[in-house]
Amino acid sequence: MTVRPAALIALLPVLSVVAGCEVGPPEGAAPGATAVASTNGSTEDLPGSTPVGTRLRFGEKAVITVGVGDTRTRVGVVVTGVEQGASEDAAALATMVPDRSAADPVYFIRAVLTNDDGMSSGGSYSGPLLYGDLADGGDAGGFQLIGSTVALPHCVSVSRQPPEWNVVGARNEICRIIFARPEAVRLPVGRGSIRWS
């Protein structure tokens, strides 16, 4: 297990959920901008970005716009699925999270990021924060050490981009640690979200 000292533990809060996860067109989302311009420059989505409200199946790709103004660029996100960690993953996580035991299951959201535009100025970009939505309307909760790496036996959660990321077509596999098996995975974008199930 690799944990850098002086890191801040971030436990994700319980959030509400929109019911239904079938594939289909975006709900109430107009194509185009999903955010407003800021004093730092435009945050409008670039052409080809996936509209807010889109529902995808695991393995399908969404394209999101990251950055502001002239540094905006498109990143592909493919949520490949959710899997349960092994008993050694649960035991390792129990040493890091208060009130968890080695008997509590742990789950991983797996995703692949693609650098669609050759992002080179996003030195701190480590990928989107993915949430697990439960069937009863709650959030699966999650664990991440801000600015650090958490290495469980079967999931390495890194909060920085790899050095080879800055070329068109670069791929980065990511793993997010969550506390319960979700029915869907949500990626907040603009004023809504994109979902996989």
Q: What digits encode the pLDDT tens for the residues 33-67?
A: 334 333 446 788 999 999 999 999 999 999 999 88
Token code pair at residue 109: 């959201």
Is residue 165 classed as helix, strand or coil in its secondary structure?
Answer: helix
What does the pLDDT read at residue 121? 58
Write down the pTM of the prediction.
0.76
How many CA atoms lie less than 13 Å away from 173 in the CB half-sphere?
Answer: 8
Higher pLDDT residue, 21 or 98?
98
Strand order in the sheet with 184-189: 55-56, 192-196, 184-189, 131-133
Asked if pLDDT for residue 140 goes beyond 80, the answer is yes
Percent of the chain with pLDDT over 90: 54
Asked if pLDDT for residue 159 goes beyond 60, the answer is yes
**What is residue 59's DSSP assignment?**
T
What does the pLDDT read at residue 67? 82
The per-residue pLDDT of the chain, averaged, comes to: 79
Give strand pairing partners of 8.
Answer: 146
Average pLDDT over residues 83-108: 96
